[in-house]
Chains A and B, each alone.
Chain A
Amino acid sequence: MISAEGCRLTLAVTDSTQQTTPAAAADAVAVLVPQYGTLLFRVAHAALRNRAEAEDVVQETFVRVLQHHHRLNEVRDMRVWLVRIAWNLALDRRRRIRPSQMDDVFAEALASVTVPADRALAQSAHLRTVLEEMERLPKAERHVLLLNAIDEMETAEIADVLQKSESAVRSLLFRARTRLRERVERGWQARRNA
């Protein structure tokens, strides 16, 4: 069975899965789905902003884990390892689909439904500006900002996933927020002037 010790996991099952059938290995990997599925979905969704694509990424992540289940005992931190796999798969998928394609739907879904239609439209446009400027951020800053948006991810874990130091992650996060605020301000002014 799998037991959690804080963030680290001890996989007692991995020794047995080396000799077990693929079906048993699939069952062992399926145990991880309820524990990490939501986190991985949010990670993938932050990168893709598409629910169907994010679910595909989560599914592919666990299939990859199944393919390498005999090496699970070498994994030091299961949580970070899974997030890194999902994040890299999501970034690969970003080459095929553009998250900006889904921004309109995402922004409209975020707009409040209790306000009048004209205000909801303005709010949706404002959110879309934020999403556009977020896409225009430098890659490292955008990645840190998106991973930091997920509550379950701590700075040390983000640093592990992105293979940077914690201080670098903090610095990138500060710069990303500052730059995003400035650009949103500028973009919103330009849009209003137009």
Chain B
Amino acid sequence: MTHEDQHDQAIEDVLHALRITEPPQGYEARIHNALLQAAVETQRSITFNSRHPERNAAKSKYLLVSLLPYMSWAAACVVVLALGIAVRSHLQSTSTRQSSTRKVSQRNVISRVPDASPAPMTPVPALKKQALLPVSKSTQNREEVAQPQRIEVAIQTHEYIPEPPMPLTQQERLVIRMMRRNTAQQLAEYTPDARARQLHEDAQAYHDYFAATSLDGQPIYVQSIEHPQISGAN
């Protein structure tokens, strides 16, 4: 027999011994006696309770009286706790109201400023909700004095979010396209005289070019310089 078989045999022996274990003699009688004893105890308690209801009442009353100091302490603790919570919530609501009023006034002043420069679009929902609340007259006057500084601070701290620019009209788009041809310096010097001078130079250059390059050696440009036109080459 190998070692493995021996181990299997030993395991089977143990399990078999657990399997065939028999209870000791007389255990049924002992269990029956224990059951009867438990039943008698139960019967006795039931009988006692039914025969002496006043004792039960006295017992429950005694229990209630003995628990009364603990209950009073518990009630006092509950009252103190409730008072603490109420005071704390009141303080919190007061401070929240004051801070929200301050923020609303600042937001309303800022929102009346014209849209001058673009700023990063950071959502600030709390401020947006309070933007339509009214502002008193004195507060408005006081705040207008320190308006530029407040706007700068608000832009730096991202509290002030300007409205997005309106879309451009067709004419505005044309103007921007026309103006963007020249440099900023040229645009700054763009007066009616400069425009007339430029038109004259353009016409002169046009005349010089076509007068010098006609097919039969005759100039093809015969009209005045102010209104250059191209005629046929006859």
Chain A residues with CB below 8 A from B16, complex form: 149
In the bound complex, residues from chain B placing their C-beta under 8 Å from that of A123 are 10
B39, CB-defined interface residue at 8 Å:
yes
A59 touches B30 (CB 8 A): yes
The reply to whether A126 and B24 form a contact with Cβ atoms under 8 Å apart is no
Number of interface residues of B (CB under 8 A): 32
For residue B46, which residue of chain A has the nearest CB? A22
Interface contact B11-A184, CB-CB below 8 Å = yes
Interface assignment of A188: CB less than 8 Å from any CB of chain B: yes
Which segment of A27-35, A75-83, A113-121, A160-168 sits at the interface? A27-35
**How many angstroms between the C-alpha atoms of A151 and B13 in the bound complex?**
14
Instruction: Please determine whether B11 and A130 come into contact, CB atoms closer than 8 angstroms.
Output: yes
**Interchain CA distance A58-B23 in the complex, whole Å:** 10
Q: Given contacts A21-B43, A184-B10, are A62 and B27 in contact (CB under 8 A)?
A: no
B residues within 8 A CB of A181? Answer: 4, 7-8, 11
Q: Report Cα–Cα, A58/B39, bound state, in Å.
A: 17
A190 within 8 Å of B (CB atoms): no
Which of A2-10, A37-45, A89-97 contacts the other chain? A37-45
Q: How far is the CB of A33 from chain B (nearest CB, A)?
A: 5
How distant is the Cα of A83 from the Cα of B28 in the complex, in angstroms? 17
Task: Tell me which of B13, B23, B36 contacts A55 (CB under 8 A).
Answer: B23
From residue A125, how far is it (CB to closest CB) to chain B in Å?
10
- The residue on A at minimum CB distance from B7 is A184
Contact B23 A37 (CB under 8 A): yes
Residues of B within 8 A of A146 (CB): 18
Q: Using Cβ atoms and an 8 Å threshold, which residues of chain B touch A151?
A: 19
Q: How far is the CA of A146 from the CA of B18 in the complex (A)?
A: 8
Complex interface: chain A residues within 8 A of B3 (CB):
185, 188
B35 contacts A26, C-beta separation under 8 Å: yes
Number of interface residues of A (CB under 8 A): 46
Interface 1/0 per residue, A122-146 and B, CB below 8 Å:
0100110111001000000000011
In whole angstroms, how far apart are the Cα atoms of A34 and B27 in the complex?
A: 10
The verdict on A110 contacting chain B, using a C-beta distance below 8 Å, is: yes
Q: Is there contact, CB below 8 Å, between A42 and B31?
A: no
Shortest distance between the CB of B4 and any CB in chain A (Å): 7
**Would you call A29 and B15 a contact (CB within 8 A)?**
no
Interface string of B1-45 (1 = CB under 8 A from A): 001101110110111111101111001101110111011101100
- Confirm or deny: A67 has a beta carbon within 8 angstroms of a beta carbon on chain B: yes
The docked-state distance in angstroms from the alpha carbon of A123 to that of B34 is 39
Q: A12 on the interface (CB 8 Å rule)? A: no
Q: Which residues of A contact B24 (CB under 8 A)?
A: 51, 55
Shortest CB–CB separation between residue A111 and chain B, in angstroms?
9
B17 touching A66, Cβ below 8 Å: no
Bound CA span A134–B46, Å: 47
Asked if residues B35 and A66 are in contact (CB atoms below 8 Å), the reply is yes
Contact B31–A37 (Cβ < 8 Å): yes
Q: Are B27 and A180 interface neighbours, CB within 8 A?
A: no
Instruction: Report the minimal beta-carbon distance from B187 to chain A, rounded to whole angstroms.
Output: 85
Determine whether the beta carbon of B39 is less than 8 Å from that of A23.
yes
Q: Which residues of B contact A (CB under 8 A)?
A: 3-4, 6-8, 10-11, 13-19, 21-24, 27-28, 30-32, 34-36, 38-40, 42-43, 46
16 CB contacts below 8 A, A to B, read A22-B39, A22-B42, A30-B31, A51-B24, A55-B30, A58-B27, A63-B38, A66-B38, A66-B39, A106-B17, A110-B17, A130-B11, A130-B13, A150-B19, A181-B11, A185-B7
Apart from A21-B39, A41-B21, A126-B10, what 15 extra A-B contacts exist at CB < 8 Å?
A: A22-B42, A33-B31, A37-B23, A37-B28, A49-B18, A51-B23, A55-B27, A58-B23, A62-B35, A127-B10, A129-B10, A130-B13, A130-B14, A150-B19, A188-B7
